[in-house]
Structure 1
């Protein structure tokens, strides 16, 4: 992923993270690759993998904004309802074993007026490319820490009453950035 990160993803991540406001929760922060993009916010970042979390501690200490990294799992967040103004996830929902549970937890901890910002790869709308993702996904999951190439994240969000405000497609429509919020009742 390094060539994609340095040539394409850096701008995608920066543009998405610049939309974050207030108290931010980043789910699955990995190595903390997003930390340098945060400005004028306070970030709580969760990561279940201890190896990745170790690198994220180092990046958090170098960030220009306060970032508190803790062990955590998006399927069972330890925060009160409506705790965060913004919830961020980048290339993470594809690896979570139960994405529906994670989306429900994200919705629960996000304030009613809050924003959900996601950068994900998704199942392609083209039938042939989507089928190719379906075929490759079992092998890819084993090789890439549980990553599902064919996860239909947009559909999952809509099913869980998440209102999509904006979607931008990238790199042949395989990657998307999503700005969303809880549907107002």
Structure 2
């Protein structure tokens, strides 16, 4: 939601975060172990849920979002360091991370294929990857509506693609998809993968 201020973004998301999103984030971040990479950490909404991580490297290219996340990082149960970086050019070496978390971010990444290549490079062999994303729905009328709305929506919502098929992109990247949990009639997907090199 790049055109919303970080504070307004948190307010706009609050009704969703109070419902199933809370449990989804708790499960995803709570399962991330070892050295963790978070892609597009935004205002740090996942930070309170990290429990089993040794440390978290959180990338967020939007300066205002990143600044708003610093208080949550300071209050987290595990060490969290934020980086002003994009997913397509991660400032880390090869085979660094045990887990990767990405929630509601792949819709906005300009070059998702490149981002997935970078994530695979930085993740260790056998690393677990946890995605939670909204996607283009298979139901034709809704899918067509998402297609029609996306050009305008991108302009008002920070480049968000309502119709991006993130699951297909993940499969094409070479990640081994272990589990896909559809929610809200398939509008949202929780996707668990393993990085096998």
User: Would the aligned equivalents of 2:38 and 2:102 in 1 still touch at CA under 8 Å?
Assistant: yes
Q: Residue 38 of structure 1: CA displacement?
A: 0.1
Q: Residue 2 of structure 1: CA displacement?
A: 2.2
Q: Deviations over 1:122-168 (max 9, x none)?
A: 11111221111101111111111110000000111111111100111
How do residues 99-178 of structure 1 correspond to structure 2 at under 5 angstroms? Answer: 99-178=112-191
* 3-state SS, counterpart of residue 172 of structure 1: helix
Structure 2 distance, partners of 1:171, 1:9, is 11
2:41 matched residue in structure 1: 29
2:90 matched residue in structure 1: 77
Moved over 3 A (4+): none
Q: Residue 103 of structure 1: CA displacement?
A: 0.6
Q: Residue 175 of structure 1: CA displacement?
A: 0.4
* 3-state SS, counterpart of residue 133 of structure 2: strand
TM-score (norm. length: structure 2): 0.91
TM-score (norm. length: structure 1): 0.96
Structure 1 distance, partners of 2:20, 2:66, is 24
Structure 2 distance, partners of 1:72, 1:87, is 15
What's the RMSD between the two structures over aligned residues?
A: 1.0
Structure 2: unaligned runs, 5 residues or longer: 1-12
